[in-house]
Amino acid sequence: MLQKNIFLESEADAWFERNHAAVSSKDYSSNDSLTSAIVGLIGDASLDVSRAIKVLEVGCGEGRRLEWLAKNTGIEVYGIEPSQKAVDLAISRGVQVKRSTADEILFEDATFDIVIFGFCLYLCDRKDLFRIAKEADRVLKDNAWLVMQDFYSKAPIETDYHHLLGLKSYKMDYKTLFDWHPSYSCYSHQVHHHGSTKFTDDPSEWVATSVLRKSV
């Protein structure tokens, strides 16, 4: 069975149950490196601020980052997430989240000014990666931003997922899903410690935050 179906069936809710307490006490304000990257883009002159800026987070969990962004920056926020429990909680917080996975983004073409991959790609089936990239490209407007944060490794690595036998966790340089394409250029790519913005020499702790510009 595909990993995404196991997440949709049970593992995404199990992830939610295991992590809800930690997520509740996490700071999702602009002190968070991913939120801070989004805040930086909202101020960018390339976004048409005369219309509402629409942001999608793929794998948004219970929507706390999106909730903070909506309250503090006035943007319109949307998410997709496979956990029904996380979706219900996000909706109760006023975030419009649909239950789905990254390979099937249930929104119209050219809807978003910013698409965020919020630390979910390491859980995605490798055979879905082309579809995942195509879906993000489809829902992004022509001149828009893509922000990715995930485990980083120069060469792809596959390891066992600790919580369920048979599932895998994947590290790679996720910006390469897009930056080969002439319409995408990498605006910034920061490799840092998992949990802080500081660099570490320990590759097992590497996380990358990559900001890409789609210019058509």
**Tokens, residue 211:** 């900001």
> CA geometry: angle at 171 spanning 168 and 177, to 5°?
110
The smaller minimum CB distance to ligand SAM, of residues 16 and 184, is found at 16
Binder among 83, 139, 170, 207 for ligand SAM (CB under 6 A): 83
Segment interacting with ligand SAM, rule: CB under 6 A, options 90-98, 113-121, 165-173, 182-190:
113-121
DSSP 8-state class, residue 205: G
Q: Rounded to the nearest whole angstrom, what is the least distance from the CB of residue 85 to ligand SAM in the complex? A: 10
Describe the crossing of helices 12-25 and 84-92 by its angle, rounded to 10 degrees.
Answer: 40
Q: Rounded to the nearest whole angstrom, what is the least distance from the CB of residue 114 to ligand SAM in the complex? A: 14
Instruction: Tell me the HSE value of 94 on the side-chain side, using a 13 A CA sphere.
Output: 10
Q: Give the Cα separation of 186 and 180 in Å (integer).
A: 10
> Computed over its alpha carbons, how large is the radius of gyration of the chain?
16
35 sits near ligand SAM (criterion: CB under 6 A): no
15 sits near ligand SAM (criterion: CB under 6 A): yes
Q: Rounded to the nearest whole angstrom, what is the least distance from the CB of residue 128 to ligand SAM in the complex? A: 7
The smaller minimum CB distance to ligand SAM, of residues 53 and 56, is found at 56
| Amino acid letter, 199 | F
Segment interacting with ligand SAM, rule: CB under 6 A, options 59-67, 159-167, 168-176, 194-202:
59-67
